[in-house]
Structure 1
Amino acid sequence: MSPVLKVEHLSKSFDGVDAVKDVSFDLMPGELKALIGPNGAGKSTCFNMLMGQLKPSSGEVFLRGKPVTGLPPRRIWRMGVGRTFQITGTYQSMTVAENVQMALISHHRRLFAVIPYAYRLYRDEALALLELVGMADQADRACSILAYGDLKRLELAIALSHRPGLLLMDEPTAGMAPRERAALMQLTADIVRDRGISVLFTEHDMDVVFTHAHHIMVLNRGELIAAGTAAEIRADERVQQVYLGGGTLFSRDGRDA
């Protein structure tokens, strides 16, 4: 089986400082993989290179065997890569359904011919996506009055609008309550299983990471210092020292995680 995403020796420097240094990994079909590390480890920089927002200083990125290094974000998006961000970016003046409809209009290449009647286009498809993420009952609510957890679910529906084979999720549960975090990541895991989508996500909540990730990578000061299953990462002494200050990973009930 060939990887959906292959990263080889990816590096990025800013004024001589290495933000990401010689990072290599594969992401397989249907895999849910976490990229974790302390603040400033280089996670978002890595994501921005994968999606084309930043050009790497060196290294290569391949999507289903095709080189995409340095391509603009829209080209990469068209090749089947979706992304969610740490801070949501929905249209606050539009309804929930209209936000998804706008994404679908872009996917179907109808942006420049729809101004008078855009609200009619792809509504059924938008409602189906909202049903998938548990937001169908809020389809006609304005985004400006949504709770933050609901905005995160809406952003996921938008990211799924062009049927991506690869989804990049940058801190998907940031700013959410613990119960909302668990619900969103369970939803993501269900979508991975049902649709065969590959997901790479960054996250600071270790309960979320260890519960849902098939494999985990640990980044520190731009370098990949460990990769493996949850059990292997928990037991890795370097991860404990560098990422967790020498402590032990615990679950919420206090037991060793």
Structure 2
Amino acid sequence: MSTPLLQVSNLGKSFGGVKAVDGISFDLHAGELLALIGPNGAGKTTTFNMVNGQLPAGQGSILLNGQELVGRAPRAIWRLGVGRTFQIAETFASLTVVENVQMALLSHDGRLFSMWRSASAYKRDEALALLEQVGMAAQADRPCSELAYGDVKRVELAIAMANSPKLLLMDEPTAGMAPRERNALMALTKQLVVDRGMAVLFTEHSMDVVFAYADRMIVLARGRLIAQGKPLEIRDHPKVQEVYFGSGKTFEKIAQKSAEISGVTGETA
């Protein structure tokens, strides 16, 4: 197997005497969607923010293509090819759809701009090409304030692609979306992973989405990694079932629904 794009080793973070993340390790390869899941308080957000540089790691290593990310600022990590979307979509509501993407391109290129001067001429074709990939080119000249929430999430995805990321971090990408919208967004993300050969690490509470679209899953509980593997392995893992449900319940119904969503059944679910 090829060398992983992302290698996380013995990663940890404490707040006072509480170990929010306790020495976890995992890999992520190009062309792969990896879901980071766990119950509330498991350490998912802390892990996510350490990979992104928003929180300094207390211990361990995070390598992206062999380059250490620990100790780097979020902007420096972004420039190395790490994109991010947020649980609450981050866009400029007063700007048009295409101007939002152009602002991201300006930032990536390190260009200075004036708030009094329109960015409408800067790499418009490139911005439109990104919007085409997420199905938003037809709405390029509409203000973001007029968009439905699902469309705002698509614009945010186009913005995250402005630095041609090798790794895309998606924090609760389908939060606040209707079932049809969230499945459309994750299907789009899956296609971008295939087309661009990038990797995606995402957190998600909707288990039907996770089982339908993740290639692999890692599960945290109380800051520790308790399981990792393909969706079927996680579905049948007794420790994971215990953490989520206690005894007597399983992921079976969720997995069946996920198979219907993704159009697959059996071992490929």
Counterpart in the other structure of 2:128: 127
Residue by residue over 1:202-231, the C-alpha shift from the partner in whole angstroms, topping out at 9 and shown as x without a partner, is 111111111111100111111110000111
Counterpart in the other structure of 1:63: 64
Contact kept in structure 1, 2:6 and 2:29, CA below 8 Å: yes
Residue by residue over 1:235-254, the C-alpha shift from the partner in whole angstroms, topping out at 9 and shown as x without a partner, is 00010010233321113877
For normalisation by structure 1, the TM-score amounts to 0.95
Contact kept in structure 1, 2:211 and 2:255, CA below 8 Å: no
- Do the aligned partners of residues 41 and 57 (structure 1) sit closer, same or farther apart at CA in structure 2, a change above 3 Å counting? same
1:156 is displaced (CA, Å) by: 0.5
1:196 is displaced (CA, Å) by: 0.2
1:115 is displaced (CA, Å) by: 5.3
Q: Following the alignment from structure 1 to structure 2, what is the Cα–Cα distance between the partners of residues 121 and 32?
A: 32
SS of equivalent residue, structure 2 residue 245: coil
**Aligned to 1:251, which of 249, 254, 257?**
254
- Do the aligned partners of residues 113 and 146 (structure 1) sit closer, same or farther apart at CA in structure 2, a change above 3 Å counting? closer
Unaligned 5+ segments in structure 2 are 260-268
**Sequence identity (%):** 61
Counterpart in the other structure of 1:8: 9
Counterpart in the other structure of 2:180: 179
Counterpart in the other structure of 1:136: 137
Counterpart in the other structure of 2:20: 19
The one-letter amino acid of 2:205's match is H
- Do the aligned partners of residues 177 and 98 (structure 1) sit closer, same or farther apart at CA in structure 2, a change above 3 Å counting? same
Q: Following the alignment from structure 2 to structure 1, what is the Cα–Cα distance between the partners of residues 185 and 246?
A: 28
Q: How does 1:1-257 map to 2 (within 5 A)?
A: 1-112=2-113, 116-246=117-247, 247-249=249-251, 250-251=253-254
- Do the aligned partners of residues 88 and 129 (structure 1) sit closer, same or farther apart at CA in structure 2, a change above 3 Å counting? same
1:29 is displaced (CA, Å) by: 1.4
Contact kept in structure 2, 1:220 and 1:243, CA below 8 Å: no
For normalisation by structure 2, the TM-score amounts to 0.91
SS of equivalent residue, structure 2 residue 182: helix
**RMSD, aligned CA:** 1.7
- Do the aligned partners of residues 47 and 242 (structure 1) sit closer, same or farther apart at CA in structure 2, a change above 3 Å counting? same
Q: Following the alignment from structure 2 to structure 1, what is the Cα–Cα distance between the partners of residues 80 and 121?
A: 27
Which deviates more, 236-245 or 70-79?
236-245
- Do the aligned partners of residues 221 and 60 (structure 1) sit closer, same or farther apart at CA in structure 2, a change above 3 Å counting? same
Q: Following the alignment from structure 2 to structure 1, what is the Cα–Cα distance between the partners of residues 207 and 81?
A: 28
Contact kept in structure 2, 1:49 and 1:70, CA below 8 Å: no
- Do the aligned partners of residues 252 and 176 (structure 1) sit closer, same or farther apart at CA in structure 2, a change above 3 Å counting? farther
Contact kept in structure 2, 1:54 and 1:70, CA below 8 Å: no
Q: Following the alignment from structure 1 to structure 2, what is the Cα–Cα distance between the partners of residues 202 and 208?
A: 11
Residue by residue over 1:185-214, the C-alpha shift from the partner in whole angstroms, topping out at 9 and shown as x without a partner, is 000000001110111111111111111111
Unaligned 5+ segments in structure 1 are none
The one-letter amino acid of 1:64's match is N
Residue by residue over 1:51-70, the C-alpha shift from the partner in whole angstroms, topping out at 9 and shown as x without a partner, is 11000111111110111102
Residue by residue over 1:76-134, the C-alpha shift from the partner in whole angstroms, topping out at 9 and shown as x without a partner, is 00000001111111111111111000001111211347852422111111111111001
Q: Following the alignment from structure 1 to structure 2, what is the Cα–Cα distance between the partners of residues 225 and 253?
A: 23
How many residues end up aligned between the 2 structures? 257
Q: Following the alignment from structure 1 to structure 2, what is the Cα–Cα distance between the partners of residues 54 and 255?
A: 33
Contact kept in structure 1, 2:209 and 2:258, CA below 8 Å: no
SS of equivalent residue, structure 2 residue 254: coil
Q: Following the alignment from structure 1 to structure 2, what is the Cα–Cα distance between the partners of residues 165 and 31?
A: 11
